[in-house]
Structure 1
Amino acid sequence: MLREQLEQLARIKEPEARSKLIRTLVGEYARSEEHEPTEMERELFSHIVLSVFDQLDRAARYELVVRLAKTDRIIPDLADRLAQEDYELSEPVIECSPMISQNGLMQIAKSGGNEKRKSAARRSDLSEEMTDTMIARASRDVVHELLHNMEAPFSVRGTLALLIFANTEADVLAGIARRAMEDEEFLQTQMDILESNCPLIPPPLKKALETGELQRLAKTIEERHDGSIDLDGVTYSRHEASIQIANGELSFDAILRTLFEEGRLDAAIWLISRKINLADEVVSDTLKSDADGAIMRLMLQTGIHEKTYRDFLKARCEWLDRSTRSIPELVMRYKSELKKPRQNPGQPPSQALLKAAT
């Protein structure tokens, strides 16, 4: 019976008649609990709907979402297409569909609107790459949805980005504290970063991790509703700051450029030293020196792009109060050296924490 109706639908050419038949068919297709559609029926139904999708009226599209968004009775291609609709139609698909593809979700993470990203952030099947992308590109309310979602995984790079935000934003700081209280793996990542002497950890979070007072920290922030909060002598905003991750991604280059933009050379040195397996003091002393060749060789080991190297040189000149006149020449030299094959400077440490630098 179902197959006959699908074949009838395939023969109809008038858009209005197709929309009407699809609404009728979707209802029957979704209600047939005693009959689980075969793989062939799923494919046939979904491909026919996709072939006429642009001709369907809103009522027919709404019927598709209401009846089938949370089921496995459609194929990923149709779920992905429904996710492209406006938010009122696409919300159940984005948040609940078991059939939406990972590529479809990644497109939402990269370029979906804020509401669509918030729905995606509530899913239980997110990858670290998706979480990273939303942290780098989305507004903070999406970040808070991720922190509240105990199924959302956080990479070390994503955690470093959160710490960058938490240095000025009280609500992100509270969100990190709350998540660390409820998620043992997330807490362990914070402890690993703390033990590495990372300068990105805000002093109140450092103190709370060391003393086991995460709940007190989160509660202190959440109970204050004024425009700013003073914690351990540092003022934190209750509003989203203007900090954005460079290029909207969480690559080593992007995090490094963000640190340059924020004037956090201390944190940049920490990140560089872990990328190339050198002591912080060695990296710091080299970057403070006048040895342009040694600085270039050190930065070549990180593999950063020439544009990142240029941003580094600008930040270094500001840091050391030096002229920027030689930057174009130094960038050209770096670009030339970057094209040459280089030997591996050594095996990096194996700790999971240092994945942040890859």
Structure 2
Amino acid sequence: MADSILQQFEQLAKVKDVAARSLLIRKLTAEYARRTGEAPSDMERQLFSALVLDLYDQIDLSVRRDIITLLARTNHISTPLAERLSMEKDDMVTPLFQHSPMLSDDLLLHAVRVRGETVLTAIASRSTVPADLVDAIMARAFLGAIATLLRNLGAEFSSKAVMLCSIICQKSLEIQTELAARCIVDEVFFDMLNKRVEAGCPFLPTSFANAIETGNLEGFLNGQLRNGVTPQNEDLAVSREEAVVQMNLGEMTFDALLADLIRKQRKEDIIWFLRDGPGLSTKAMEHLLMTEGNKTLYRILGEQDVSVKTFEALMQWRIERLGLSRRHQYRDIEEYRQQLRYHSQR
């Protein structure tokens, strides 16, 4: 095979016409991608990849598209070639992002943060999608990509991703439907969501939470389907602007979620949210909120990068709703500001 590649390389070097050269490299790629028998040697892989890279900028756009399609599912190319192919426009590279084993995790994560919905949906369809990629895709808040993740049993959901699903499904019956379907077939996912319901998660819609509590998810799902709620229903799409405000550069923001709960003034929801991360009991978190100058509370908030603005809103809420004194309010805010400054310098 190595000799054959070299021979065809020599032939391509003699061809000056762009169209003719493009056709020849398409033929060579098809032969290479569809070969049967043993996998190519490292030498063959490097020779072929170097050949395509060397001529890539001289190839017609339509042939580039064909090359990407032919090579998308193979590991018989070098990482540099896979990375070069991935630089094409979104509508050309979806097969590569969905299937290629040669794209690094860092490249995939960067693509999730900067590419369009078609690429995100392709990555969400990969046979395995690690938790950090799921978090980043969720943070872009494209409804179709999130629905694809929920249908993909190879997608690994972190507790943060499950939390965001709970938030988004408030305004999307489609995501509620996908959540219910995932819970029915994925016991681990169901356990994660069920624990949040049992703990009083303030984000899940009441009807969906009741279906989980009563063990009637199949009935809930059937009802959704009877009402015409399907993955293709675009009328119920969540507002990306509303979702994106709760994230920051591909990571969900604890600060924005806490600020939103403070604005809604629901004591039980604030307590649930604050205790969920450190794993405290409701009684323990309520005690921290009721105790003036409690450094443990400040530490918990600081570890979650809660901003001074949100901390100030929480202090004001404690004064108005929990009856704490206003006497040390400004001192507490300044102490927390100093703590954040110290934490950022470490």
Give the TM-score band, short-chain normalised.
0.7 to 0.9
Find 2:272's aligned residue among 251, 270, 273: 270
| CA–CA distance in structure 2, aligned partners of residues 59 and 120 of structure 1 | 23
1:100 aligns with 2:103: yes
Helix, strand or coil at the partner of 1:168: coil
CA RMSD of aligned residues (A): 3.4
Contact 1:306–1:334 under 8 Å retained in 2: no
1:88 aligns with 2:86: no
Deviates more, 1:165-174 or 1:125-134: 165-174
Deviation string 1:19-74 (CA, Å, 9 cap, x unpaired) is 45423422332344356421111122213322443333213312312322222221
Contact 2:168–2:175 under 8 Å retained in 1: yes
Change (3 A) 1:34 1:197: closer
Find 1:72's aligned residue among 75, 87, 90: 75
| CA–CA distance in structure 1, aligned partners of residues 105 and 226 of structure 2 | 38
How far off its partner does 1:340 sit?
4.9
Specify the code of the residue in structure 2 equivalent to 1:89. Answer: M
Specify the code of the residue in structure 2 equivalent to 1:119. Answer: A
Change (3 A) 1:276 1:189: closer
Aligned length, in residue pairs: 326
How far off its partner does 1:196 sit?
2.8
Change (3 A) 1:31 1:177: closer
Deviation string 1:263-288 (CA, Å, 9 cap, x unpaired) is 45543432322333433234335436
Change (3 A) 1:340 1:315: closer
| CA–CA distance in structure 1, aligned partners of residues 189 and 41 of structure 2 | 42
Partner residue in 1 for 2:162:
159
Deviation string 1:236-273 (CA, Å, 9 cap, x unpaired) is x934143333214445xx13422423545543432322
Specify the code of the residue in structure 2 equivalent to 1:146. Answer: L
Specify the code of the residue in structure 2 equivalent to 1:4. Answer: L
Helix, strand or coil at the partner of 1:150: coil
Partner residue in 2 for 1:240:
238
| CA–CA distance in structure 1, aligned partners of residues 281 and 31 of structure 2 | 67
Partner residue in 2 for 1:2:
4
How far off its partner does 1:300 sit?
1.8
Deviates more, 1:266-275 or 1:56-65: 266-275
Change (3 A) 1:41 1:126: same
| CA–CA distance in structure 1, aligned partners of residues 317 and 113 of structure 2 | 33
| CA–CA distance in structure 1, aligned partners of residues 228 and 290 of structure 2 | 42
How far off its partner does 1:158 sit?
0.7
Q: List runs of 5+ in structure 2 lacking aligned partners.
A: 230-234
| CA–CA distance in structure 1, aligned partners of residues 56 and 270 of structure 2 | 50
Helix, strand or coil at the partner of 2:161: helix
- Aligned pairs for 1:120-159 (under 5 A) are 120-159=123-162
Contact 1:15–1:56 under 8 Å retained in 2: no
| CA–CA distance in structure 1, aligned partners of residues 329 and 4 of structure 2 | 70
| CA–CA distance in structure 1, aligned partners of residues 22 and 126 of structure 2 | 31
Contact 1:256–1:268 under 8 Å retained in 2: no
Specify the code of the residue in structure 2 equivalent to 1:303. Answer: G
Percent of paired sites with the same residue: 25
Specify the code of the residue in structure 2 equivalent to 1:178. Answer: A
Deviation string 1:81-110 (CA, Å, 9 cap, x unpaired) is 222312332121111223332222222222
Q: List runs of 5+ in structure 1 lacking aligned partners.
A: 227-236, 342-358
TM-score (norm 1): 0.77
- Aligned pairs for 1:243-322 (under 5 A) are 243-244=243-244, 245-250=246-251, 254-261=253-260, 263=263, 266-287=268-289, 291=292, 293-294=293-294, 297-304=296-303, 308-314=307-313, 317=316
How far off its partner does 1:115 sit?
1.0
How far off its partner does 1:111 sit?
1.6
